[in-house]
Structure 1
Amino acid sequence: MRIGLVVDSACDLPLEYLQRHEITVLPITVRIGEAVLADHRDEQATLHFLDTYIAQRGAEAETMPFTVQQIQDLFLQKLVIDYDYVFCMTITSSRSPIHDNAMQASFAILNDYRPVRAAAGHDTPFALRVVDTQNLFGAQGITAVEAVRLRAAGEGAPKIRARLENLALYTQGYLVPRDLYYLRNRARTKGDRSVSLLSAALGSALDIKPVLHCNRGETSPAAKIKGFDLAVQKLFEFTVKRVESGLMTPTVCLSYGGALAEMRSLPGYENLRLACSANNIELFESVMSLTGMVNVGKGALSVGFAAETAKFDA
């Protein structure tokens, strides 16, 4: 059985990895004023857009995910021919319409694929499963990497499906933003009142940075720490502890809202890298998606891994 994998561009994995494993990306388009860029996980294009537009006007950005029709067209023109079963893994449905769009498109795809496959010489059925990763950014990469491993090991679609849906329940995503004013203004633009003006003002005045935690689609502050560097160091130290105590998959994903050289110079990074190496954990590093950066701001750090328990202890 030919198994295909699809993610949206908010999934923070390196472009080289996505290409090498033939993972299809549903791009999310970002518009800031007259500037428009479709995010295809091109790190150089993302960094250029970041330096040119996001720092000044990112809070005003409009993000446009693939529509139901665009997803339907992608499947019927290509994926139903290239594969027999496709897993489409999306950003949490609580923060984006991509999951709902993919679900709506799936009904039409399963109704219309037969003549397309027949014309391509395939007389076997086609199936697809839309998986809500229930997480964001770096943490989205956990399910995608596990899907690649399972496919490479020759596992069948039913086992992969069960594993990915269970794994999503235990994927832990963490985020440290640099600028609470930006986060608050962006949230207000989107109608999200989760970051109040008072908390943003106090946080900026006192240099208090929240460590945000996402699991099962719910996002909440796990800690509040004075100073961005110290918050990042505490998050890296916490991740080292989780690595050493054992993860559900041998994967940690990092993404950063800027050049990776900046991330690698942050306090605690090197200890995390060494801990992953010593414990046979694959460490993925990528520039944060354009979608991620316009929503959480320049210089934010995202960390993802899978663990049954992940109470943050700063």
Structure 2
Amino acid sequence: MSYKIVVDSGCDLPVEYRTDSRFEFIPLIMQVDDHVIVDDDTFNQKEYLELVAASEDCPKTACPSPDLYMNSYRTDADDVYVVTLTSKLSGSYNSALLGKNLYHEEVGEKNIHIFDSLSASCGEGNIALKIIELADAGLPFDEVVKKVEAYRDEMLTYFVLDSLETLRKNGRLTGMKALVASTLNIKPVCHGVKGEILQKSQGIGMKKALVKMTELVAAEVKNPETKTLMISNVNCFERAAVVKDMILKKVPFKAAYIVDTAGLSSTYAADGGIIVTC
């Protein structure tokens, strides 16, 4: 059976998949002052980060419309798998669901399943790669859905950011009871819990926080030899490479990737941010 994978632009993937014909990317929109940026293949991270740094205001984002999703389901592929940002932090998942309902009403029945990633960035990418693995193995649609949801439910999402300001000002940190004092250079180690952001640990300075994060990943991951390690970076590849090496020295993974963030994740993870999923 042929298949298509639809992802919103919060999904960060290895570069070779950005032009893979099996994928369609549904863009979110970012706004910095009067600048409106579409998060598609025209996105320039360097220019965008410069805009954000020069602005006194926090960047804003907007999720895709249901129509964009509905049109992406118009395909000759038998099966359509959709992966979105966590529904706890974005309206993208609901837009994808509405698009599915519109498609069924206007076009007819089709195998369409929408995965709430309960994550973002390389978390979405990790799920997308699992879909490819299972679909290419010839599993039927319902079995792919069942196994991918089980994979997602076990997936860990951790991140350490240089700044939490964009997340905080846009109301994405409601699950965190208090923010540590930035004047003390204390960096929180955050993790995703059922799609929400919580603080797991902390370190004095970025290096110690990253070490703490790698220790948590190594301690908590189950059956790493069957899973993929993915690390997103916002303009800090060398930092991501160090994190990758630290984790792989502790536990073995089936595969490991470092990926660059597109616009949505560059907005919220901010310059210097590191996200890890497995």
Q: Same fold (TM over 0.5)?
A: yes
**Partner residue of 2:124?**
140
- Match of 2:246, as an amino acid? N
Residues 35, 148 of structure 1: alpha-carbon distance in 2 compared, 3 angstrom cutoff: same
In structure 1, how many angstroms separate the alpha carbons of the residues matched to 2:170 and 2:20?
Answer: 37
Q: Alignment partner of 1:148: what SS?
A: helix
**Partner residue of 2:247?**
272
**Partner residue of 1:282?**
255
2:104 is the alignment partner of 1:110: yes
Task: Give 1:47-196 correspondences, 5 Å limit.
Answer: 47-50=46-49, 52-57=50-55, 60-75=58-73, 80-114=74-108, 126-180=110-164, 182-183=165-166, 186-190=167-171, 193=174
**Partner residue of 2:184?**
206
Whether the 8 Å contact between 2:240 and 2:258 is mirrored in structure 1 is no
2:204 is the alignment partner of 1:226: yes
In structure 2, how many angstroms separate the alpha carbons of the residues matched to 1:59 and 1:249?
Answer: 43
**Superposition TM-score, scaled by structure 2 size:** 0.89
Cα deviation, residue 170, structure 1? 1.5
Runs of 4+ in structure 1 displaced over 6 angstroms? none
Percent identity over paired residues:
19
Whether the 8 Å contact between 2:33 and 2:57 is mirrored in structure 1 is no
How many residue pairs get matched?
278
Aligned equivalent of 1:300, options 268, 273, 277: 273
Whether the 8 Å contact between 1:11 and 1:140 is mirrored in structure 2 is yes
Higher share of residues assigned helix: 1
Q: Alignment partner of 1:94: what SS?
A: coil
**Superposition TM-score, scaled by structure 1 size:** 0.79
Q: Alignment partner of 1:99: what SS?
A: helix
CA RMSD of aligned residues (A): 2.5
2:20 is the alignment partner of 1:36: no
In structure 2, how many angstroms separate the alpha carbons of the residues matched to 1:58 and 1:259?
Answer: 23
**Partner residue of 2:4?**
4
In structure 1, how many angstroms separate the alpha carbons of the residues matched to 2:244 and 2:186?
Answer: 20
In structure 2, how many angstroms separate the alpha carbons of the residues matched to 1:61 and 1:188?
Answer: 9
- Match of 1:187, as an amino acid? R
- Match of 1:144, as an amino acid? A
Cα deviation, residue 102, structure 1? 0.7
In structure 1, how many angstroms separate the alpha carbons of the residues matched to 2:153 and 2:95?
Answer: 21
Q: Alignment partner of 1:81: what SS?
A: coil
